[in-house]
């Protein structure tokens, strides 16, 4: 079965066709996409038997890959308030792909689904039970498709390991504690704003600080600031970590602070995920920053020597694709794994269609 994988980003649309053995048969990237369903694609694709879509938020209803029906689409749309940056783009991707391929089944694969295994202690917020029950307030977790693939792939590459911390680092950043293939903790929470500082998102903040800001800002201004003008952009004026590195090298104190805050919070989060696992067998970096920024990896691992971690400097600097970067003396293997959410989506699409899952 050939599966067209649709990954709708905030301003782009990535399409790839994967064959039965997950070989990439075709790729197309719409760099600037305004969300219109009327895509005029000048490309020739191999036969497509099904379409798999990345959807960020599945809420409590969608915990497995799910065939998209009109009712399912409405259910996805109803979750927009929980992921206002991401859910509308996923819906636009669904509409665009269904217009292009109206005669094949479409399947939604949810980033939150991997974290459905979070134990109650990790998923529950200490809020009034009436609030939690009325509004489904809990830690959902995100980047699940990436964490699922990276953790499984790293175990294969390392030849074993039951306690894995995966670091998905890109424009959005999150960590996951994975025990025997199951997510048991993660840094993102009810929304993708939580956890680590990111390109433009704040990550975790004191709720009292937010209440204080509401005395000075409207809710819309606060939401916009937290999502679009915080994180690296808020600290250094640059959302791209490459620009932050360049500014830091030129002596920009704000850029240096941004790097220090980012890596401090990252080390802190990895240590917390290790505590949730009761130990660490593998540390994995993936995503745009995780795969391509040896300086961040070095800053993080050097600060976690107390966990038995040590880098091979040469391997870290030269890492390309899937690569082991731990030193021989490192008690815990350290790996870089190429993000392949497309494989996870294609496999989920085939699984859903084989089981004929329709909610």
Catalytic residue (choose from 81, 111, 185, 215)? 111
- Across the beta sheet with 13-18, the strand order is 24-30, 13-18, 3-8, 50-55, 106-110, 66-67
CB 293 within 8 A of CB 285: no
For residue 153, the Cα-to-chain-centroid distance in whole angstroms is: 16
H-helix or E-strand containing 228?
helix 219-228
CB 146 within 8 A of CB 168: yes
Helices assigned H by DSSP within 70-206: 70-77, 87-100, 120-123, 129-135, 144-158
Active site residue 111: yes
Q: How many CB atoms lie within 10 A of CB 225?
A: 15
Q: How many CB atoms lie within 10 A of CB 18?
A: 25
In 3D space, the residue among 243, 338, 333, 259 whose CA is nearest the CA of residue 295 turns out to be 259
CB 10 within 8 A of CB 357: no
Give the C-alpha separation, 91 to 57, whole Å. Answer: 11
If you count them, how many residues does the chain have? 359
Give the C-alpha separation, 66 to 351, whole Å. Answer: 9
Give the C-alpha separation, 143 to 10, whole Å. Answer: 15
Give the C-alpha separation, 148 to 116, whole Å. Answer: 12
Give the C-alpha separation, 241 to 291, whole Å. Answer: 13
Instruction: Give the phi and the psi of residue 324 in degrees, each rounded to 5.
Output: -85, 130
Catalytic residue annotation = 111
């Amino acid at each position: 079965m050939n599966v067209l994988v649709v990954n709708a980003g905030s301003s782009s649309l990535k399409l790839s066709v994967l064959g039965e053995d997950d070989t990439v048969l075709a790729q197309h990237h719409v760099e600037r996409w305004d969300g219109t369903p009327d895509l005029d694609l000048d490309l020739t694709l191999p036969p497509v038997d099904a379409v798999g879509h990345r959807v960020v938020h599945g809420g409590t209803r969608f915990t497995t890959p799910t065939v998209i029906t009109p009712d399912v689409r409405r259910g996805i749309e109803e979750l927009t308030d929980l992921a206002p940056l991401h859910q509308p783009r996923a819906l636009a991707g669904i509409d665009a792909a269904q217009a292009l391929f109206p005669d094949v089944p479409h399947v939604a694969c949810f980033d939150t689904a991997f974290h459905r295994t979070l134990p109650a202690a990790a998923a529950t917020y200490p809020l009034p039970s009436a609030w939690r029950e009325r509004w489904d307030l809990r830690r959902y977790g995100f980047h699940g498709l990436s964490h699922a693939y990276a953790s499984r792939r790293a175990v294969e590459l390392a030849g074993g390991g039951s306690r894995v911390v995966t670091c998905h680092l890109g424009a959005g950043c999150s960590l996951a504690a994975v025990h025997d293939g199951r997510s048991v903790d993660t840094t993102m929470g009810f929304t993708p704003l939580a956890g680590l500082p990111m390109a433009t998102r704040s990550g975790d903040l004191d709720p009292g600080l937010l209440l204080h800001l509401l005395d000075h800002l409207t809710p819309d201004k606060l939401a916009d600031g937290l999502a679009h003008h915080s994180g690296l952009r808020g600290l250094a004026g640059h959302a791209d970590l490459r620009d932050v590195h360049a500014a830091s090298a030129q002596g920009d104190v704000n850029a240096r602070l941004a790097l220090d805050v980012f890596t401090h919070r990252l080390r802190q989060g990895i240590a917390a995920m290790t505590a949730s696992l009761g130990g660490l067998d593998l540390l994995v970096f993936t995503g745009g920053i995780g795969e391509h920024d040896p300086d961040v990896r070095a800053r993080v691992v050097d600060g976690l020597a107390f966990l038995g971690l040590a880098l091979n400097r040469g391997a870290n600097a030269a890492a390309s694709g899937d690569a082991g970067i731990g030193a021989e003396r490192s008690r815990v293997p350290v790996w870089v794994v190429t993000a392949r959410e497309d494989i996870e989506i294609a496999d989920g699409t085939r699984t859903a269609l084989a089981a004929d899952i329709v909610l």
